Amino acid sequence: MGTDIVRTETAEAPIGVAFAYLDDYREVPSWMFGVEDFRVVGDQDHGLGSEFEATLNLGIKLHTRIRCTEWEKNRVIGMDSVKGFKVRSRWYFEEDGPGRTKVRAEVTYGLPFGPAGKAMGKVIGPAVQRAVGHSAETLIRNIEALAAREAGR
């Protein structure tokens, strides 16, 4: 489809806390860089088959509809675009010792061909790299803060 970005971070949080946080669509704007709007399409708000409309601003406004195509509790959440900006994301969760979770993000995105795609790539490419890095770091901070609150610290 296009460009692949892989980022792995470790959170000082139990896997259940990490997974539940990422699985809650209402939290997406608080950690995903550039998200201006993220809403459920239909009645299902998580799990296989759930769909979301998203608007991102990465120097260029992008609109996409994504569908959850892979979901296994405490293991993986996978989303694929079904309309608009082409993107595929996978979030993998793995225990990394007591109360620690390794989260690996894999993001693939595609741009249109021709001069328009080439021009977009000059803006979008670096922006997506920064967005994934910033999002991963913010996600981990937010997961750790939630785990600390839940532990009563």
113 — pLDDT class (breaks 50, 70, 90): low
122 — pLDDT class (breaks 50, 70, 90): low
Tell me, what's the pLDDT at 60? Answer: 77
Tell me, what's the pLDDT at 27? Answer: 96
- What is the domain count for the chain? 1
Both structure tokens of 9: 């971070």
What is the model's pTM?
0.86
* Cα torsion through 117, 122, 125, 128, rounded to 10: -100
34 vs 120, which has greater pLDDT? 34
Tell me, what's the pLDDT at 3? Answer: 58
State how far the Cα of 38 lies from the Cα of 85, in Å rounded to an integer.
14
Domain hosting 70: range is: 3-150
Q: CATH number, domain at 77?
A: 3.30.530.20
Which secondary-structure segment (H or E) carries 38? strand 35-41
Checking if the pLDDT of 115 tops 70, the result is no
Q: 90 CB contacts (<8 Å, ≥6 apart)?
A: 70, 76, 77, 78, 79, 105, 106, 107
Residues 29-52 have pLDDT tens digits of: 999 988 999 999 999 999 999 999
Tell me, what's the pLDDT at 58? Answer: 77
Which secondary-structure segment (H or E) carries 126? helix 114-150
